[in-house]
Structures are given as structure tokens and as C-alpha cells.
Structure 1
Amino acid sequence: MKEVEGAGRGRPKLGDMPLAPSFAVMLRTEDNVRIDAAHTPPREPGDLGIVLAHGFTGSLRERPTRRITHVLSGFGGVVSFDFRGHGRSGGESTVGDLEILDLDAAVRHARAIGYARVAVVGFSMGGAVAVRHAGWRGPGPGGRPRGGEVDAVVSVSAPARWYYRGTRPMRQVHWAIERPLGRWAARVGKGTRIRKGVWDPVPLAPHEAAACISPTPLLVVHGDVDAFFPLDHAHQIHDAAGKPKELWIEPGYGHAESAATPELVRRIGRWVVANS
């Protein structure tokens, strides 16, 4: 099933280039949640697949994500998807916990359709999940070695630790997660269904998972005007990780997909090619 393709007037951040065609895919997680996904083939033949993980309340169908997909498809095939509780995927969002299973399903799909090298690029919540997934070394379904192991990981605008409330945007996010009215507003306003209750147990924090990633290459990208997470989050993830690793502090860059420029996305694509 072919997704919508063509040009449109998008955000100035990524210009008005035509979007690459993509093809709808439906995935299933280990815990049997339906995950809506899409495969955008590479513009040039190759063996690199890039799995794109969006931020909280995002979607593969939102214009910033689709523009990023288009740019990254110049470096490899792109598997984008909606986390549980987002868009057309089933289930409810657990805001970074069980989402590791959603990303794992997307990575395994990239392997299954023939990509020999698979990298993950995650933004905000997706960046935190990408770090956790890259550090995940448990057995996969049926006791087989986990297919979710990746060749490179890029974490953009991600939190290093849970429960952070030090900025006004993050206090608003916690209101949406923790209050019935907030969850209703997220469902009505953004189409994001959030599971009520608390984590039990609390999942490994991104900075703790970062210590388990090596020898997989890690790139941490963060803006110096990020309104959600200050720079210490990026430093905490980077400092905890073993080599090989890189840290890019981007002047004037805000938060996640909506602030990403085409040049930043192209630089990330070049890094992925060189390190996966």
C-alpha cells in the first residue's frame, strides 16, 4: 500500500522538497501490539537501513517526520513507525518504557526486508528509547539472540533521566501524563493515548543504558536552546557511554524534529553511513 507522496508547502526548516514515496507496513511487537509503520526505500541502492523513532505525541505522518525521512532516504532506506498509543498504532503510550518493544519490532523488520546494516535515529522520547534499545542485550522471542541489536545509534534531544520537571514544557508534559484531564487533552488534541498509572518497575534510565551500548557507535545530538531538556542531559548520556561515541552541541537548535534543519539531518545521515 503506497503512502501519500508529492510536494507541499512545509515548514521552512526543511523546505519544500518533494517527499520520497513510502509504503505502509503493519508490525507486531513481542507483547502483541499492532504498530503502524512505513518503509521508504533508499534513493540509491544500498544495504543500510535507518529506523526513525519519533518523539512523544509525534507520528510518522507528521510533516517534520516525513521531511526527515525524505532527507535520510538519501543515505539509506528508512523504516519509520508510530509508537504504541500514537497515530494508527494500537495500545497506549508508556512514555518510554514498553516502547522499546515497538522499536525492536521496527529494527527486526528492517533486518527482515534485507538491510545488512541497521542504525536507529531517535528524537526526544524516541532518542531515549533508542539508547535503551541499543543497550538491550536480553534474548529475543523463543530464546533466539535478539534481532534488535543495531550497528549505530543516534539520540537527538533526548532526556538522560526520568521524571525531569526542571522546565515549563516538561511540567506540562507531566501534567498530560499524570492527570486525567491531561490524558484526555493529549488524546483529543494530539491523538496520543497514554496509559494511566505508574511504572512498576521503573525502566533503566537512558544514561544508565548508555553504559551498555559500547562497542556500538553512539552519537548524541542536543541543541543549546532546547526548551525541554538542558544540555546536562546530553552530557550525562555521552559521559556514561563507552567508546566509540560523539557529542554534538548544536548552536541555535531547539528541540527534536520540529527544529531540525536539513543540514543537521544530512550531517546525521553522513555520520550514520560512516559509523554503521
Structure 2
Amino acid sequence: MSSEAEGRFHMVDVSSLTSVPRRVTVRTVLRTDDGVGIEAVYEPSTASVTDTAAVTRGGTAVVVAHGFTGSLDRPALRRAAQAFRAHAAVVSFSFRGHGRSGGRSTVGDREVLDLAAVVRWARELGHTRVVTVGFSMGGSVVLRHAALERGTGAHTDAVAAVSAPARWYYRGTPSMRRVHWVVTRPVGRLVGRYGLGTRIDRKEWDPVPLAPFEAVPLIAPTPLLVVHGDRDPYFPVDHPRMLADAAAAAGAPAELWLEHGMGHAENAAGDELLDRLGAWLARP
């Protein structure tokens, strides 16, 4: 993977960003291990530089992974990123097939490579502590990434999954049946491309990737937070409980926040929750 700029995107000298506090916003395109260009944006923390706690947190970067059909420029993702900037620097990006990133979406499979490229970049920028937070599909990706990249240069120091599925192929709600129609049907993929701005790979998974609940036992001892709304129209609360149970069975219980009245993912996350989540991600 190389952190090279492409086209009109600006890449600055990494050495200019290695001091704390960082004040430079950077938009660039990264290259994944399988050659896909991923659009990413680095934004410095807005915490007061005179605050001792802010300086202590200066080494942390939060990498934010959006949900299916999202992108780094969608309003809900921007709102989350701005909330997290009150606690740490933030790197947001668009998964393959989304926004101005290249490739096609594999709906959570090869997206682990996208996240790994972004985490490596955050470390290249001088951050000594890099943490990940993902919403919905992004939640499944951060869980698998945390398990698969342990001990590598793309590892995460803490992981939070919001509104994430615990298992694949779930069709138990009308919302998820619509998602499966978009992903699996030719007409649905056309709707995804032209109606939702998401380019979806027509190939089925082969092999089927590690399920999120199977990944969770491999994450320990990395701190893990599972966040889920009790009114999620996509995944009912047995999904977060399954993830938390898998962590407990591995001897490293996850923190589980069941949010009363919350719906699904970044669109439903309120300001208070985002601030609380940012504080959890930024704590040493």
C-alpha cells in the first residue's frame, strides 16, 4: 500500500504533520493492497491546544467507517466526524464503490483492505494511537479488521461498532430484505448505482468472510465497544447481544451500550451519543 495522491487531490509532506497539535486538513487518495483508490480526509482535533487533556489526546486519531451507501461527504458522517474532532484528530474515508473511491462494493468483505490502508496512513501521519469506529456495514468491517490486523502496522488500538450485524445473510426485517434485493438483483444493483450512488460488485462472496461474531473473540485484548439502538429497523438487539456474548466467551467482555429509542447507524446517532462515543475512543 502506498499513500500516494491521485489527480486533483492534495497530499502534503507527512513530516509537516508529526507535531502535536496538528492543524492541517488533508484530502487524498490512498492505494489498497489490491490496488483500489480510496478517498480519505484527515482533519485535526478542534480541542483547545491549551487544555492539558487535549495535548494528552494529541496522539490519537479516530478512523471513521461509514455504512452501506454512505460516503465521507454524507451529512450524517460529517456530523459524526465533527463530533469526534472535539476529542481527537479524525480520518474519514469512502469505502470502495462509494463516493469518489474506486472499485466496487463487496458489502463488507474486501472493505477490510480499505480500512487497513486508512489506518496505516493515520500512523504514517505520526499518530501513536489509532482507533476505529464503524457504522452498520462499517461496524462489521472494523470488527473483522481488528481481528485480522492484530500485530500488523494496520492494527487498531480500540474499536467501536455501531449498529453492526453479528452474522451474515440476515433477512429478518423488511429493511434488510430491501438491502438484499439491492445487492443480489441486477435491477437492484442499478438502483444502487444510479439511485444510491453505490457501485456494487455482482460476484458472490467466495470464500464467505469471517462473520462479525466469529471475529470478536480474536480481537482481545484490544478494547471493544458495541453500540446499538433498541429501535434499529435493520438489526434487532439480538445482534449486539450476540457480539457481546462472543467477547465474553473469549474472556474479554466488550462494553455494550443499548441506546433507548435509537434507530440505525450514523443517521440515528444523536449529538449526546456521538460526544460520549468520541470520549470513549479518545481515552488512553
Indicate whether the TM-score tops 0.5.
yes
- Indicate whether 1:110 and 2:122 are aligned: yes
Offset at residue 67 of structure 1 (A):
0.8
**Deviation string for 1:49-94 (max 9, x for gaps)?**
0000000000100011001110101111101000000010000000
- 1:253 is aligned to 262
Q: Is the Cα–Cα contact under 8 Å of residues 221 and 250 in structure 1 kept in the other structure?
A: yes
Question: Aligned residue for 2:51?
Answer: none
Q: Secondary structure at the match of 1:166?
A: coil
Find out whether 1:39 has 2:22 as its counterpart: no
Match of 1:16 in 2: none
Q: Are 1:89 and 2:98 counterparts?
A: no
Q: 2:133 aligns with which of 110, 116, 121?
A: 121
2:127 aligns to what SS in structure 1? coil
Letter aligned with residue 158 of structure 1: A
Other-structure match for 1:17: none
2:229 and 2:25 mapped to 1: Cα distance?
A: 29
Q: Tell me the amino acid that sits aligned with residue 217 of structure 2.
A: A
Out of 228, 232, 235, the position equivalent to 2:241 is 235
Cα pair 1:57 1:192 within 8 Å, conserved: yes
Aligned partners of 1:122 and 1:35: how far apart in 2?
Answer: 16
Runs of at least 5 residues in structure 2 that lack an aligned partner in the other structure? 1-8, 11-22, 48-54
* TM-score normalised by structure 1 residue count: 0.88
1:268 corresponds to: 277
SS at match of 2:103: coil
Structure-2 separation of matches of 1:259 and 1:137: 29
SS at match of 1:211: helix
Look up the SS of the partner of 2:38 in the other structure.
strand
For the residues of structure 2 that align with 1:154 and 1:136, how far apart are their CA atoms? 15
Q: 1:165 aligns with which of 165, 168, 171?
A: 171
CA contact (8 A) 1:226 1:254 kept: yes
Cα drift, residue 148 of structure 1: 1.6
2:31 corresponds to which of 16, 28, 33: 28
Do the aligned residues in 2 keep the contact of 1:159 with 1:233 (CA within 8 Å)? yes
Per the TM alignment, residue 273 of structure 1 is displaced from its structure 2 partner at its CA by 2.1
Q: Offset at 1:21?
A: 8.6
Distance 1:177 1:21, change over 3 A: farther
Which residue matches 2:74? 62
Q: For the Cα contact (< 8 Å) 2:182–2:188, is it kept in 1?
A: yes
**Alignment check: 8 A CA contact 2:116 2:154 kept:** yes
Note the residue ranges of structure 1 that are not aligned, 5 or more in a row. Answer: 3-19, 139-144
CA contact (8 A) 1:54 1:65 kept: yes
CA contact (8 A) 1:216 1:244 kept: no
**Aligned partners of 1:244, 1:251: CA distance in 2, in Å?**
21
Task: Determine the structure 2 residue equivalent to 1:6.
Answer: none
Task: State the AA in 2 paired with 1:43.
Answer: T
How far apart in 2 are the matches of 1:248 and 1:21?
A: 33
CA contact (8 A) 2:230 2:263 kept: yes
Runs of 4+ in 1 over 4 A off after TM superposition: none
2:66 equivalent to 1:51: no
RMSD: 1.5
Q: What is the CA distance between 1:191 and its match in structure 2? A: 1.1
Amino acid at match of 2:83: V
What is the distance in 2 between the residues matched to 1:88 and 1:270?
A: 30
Corresponding position: 1:174 with 2:180: yes
The residue type equivalent to 2:256 in the other structure is: L
Pairing 1:220–2:229 present: no
Q: Say if 2:244 and 2:253, in contact at 8 Å, map to a contact too.
A: no
Distance in 1 (alpha carbons) for counterparts of 2:98 and 2:159: 22
